[in-house]
Amino acid sequence: MSLMMIGTCISSLLTKPPAEVLQSGIFYLGIGTAYAWVALAVMTGGWVGNNAVAWHWPLAGGMVGLICLVAFAAFIPLYLPCALLGMYLCYFHLAGYADDAENPA
């Protein structure tokens, strides 16, 4: 579903006038979905390597992920494990459990 949303966002940029695209909620949901996936990938990499990530990845990525959670609520059985991992990773990074690069444990 998320790849279809991102694809719809990209195809609308290529086929419609920019003013019309920027007025569409689907466009912003597609951009948000892409950002949430990138944030999940960055936070997962930081978690595996036990490295801190920039504050905006868990904070903004978590908020956008919640918006996507509501938008795609009908498909929750498909993405529930990913959503739970995302919530845990937001907690992990915001609570400061990762080692900083300047202060290794």
What is each CA distance from 57 to 31, 39, 54, 90, in whole angstroms? Answer: 15, 5, 6, 8
**For residue 71, pLDDT beyond 50:** yes
Buried b (16+ CB within 10 A) or exposed e, 90-101: bebbeeeebeee
Give the pTM: 0.82
Q: What is the pLDDT of residue 105?
A: 42
**Which structural domain, as residue segments, surrounds residue 60?**
2-94
Counting the structural domains of the chain, the total is 1
Q: What is the mean pLDDT of residues 64-82?
A: 89
Question: Are the beta carbons of 85 and 47 closer than 8 angstroms?
Answer: no
Whole-number pLDDT of residue 98? 81
Classify residue 100: in a domain, yes or no. no
Q: Are 40 and 13 in contact (CB under 8 A)?
A: no
Q: Has residue 43 been placed in a domain?
A: yes
**Residue 29, pLDDT score:** 87
Could you tell me if residue 66 is inside a domain? Answer: yes
Q: How many CB atoms lie within 10 A of CB 45?
A: 11
Structure confidence at residue 102 (pLDDT): 47
Provide the mean pLDDT of the chain: 87
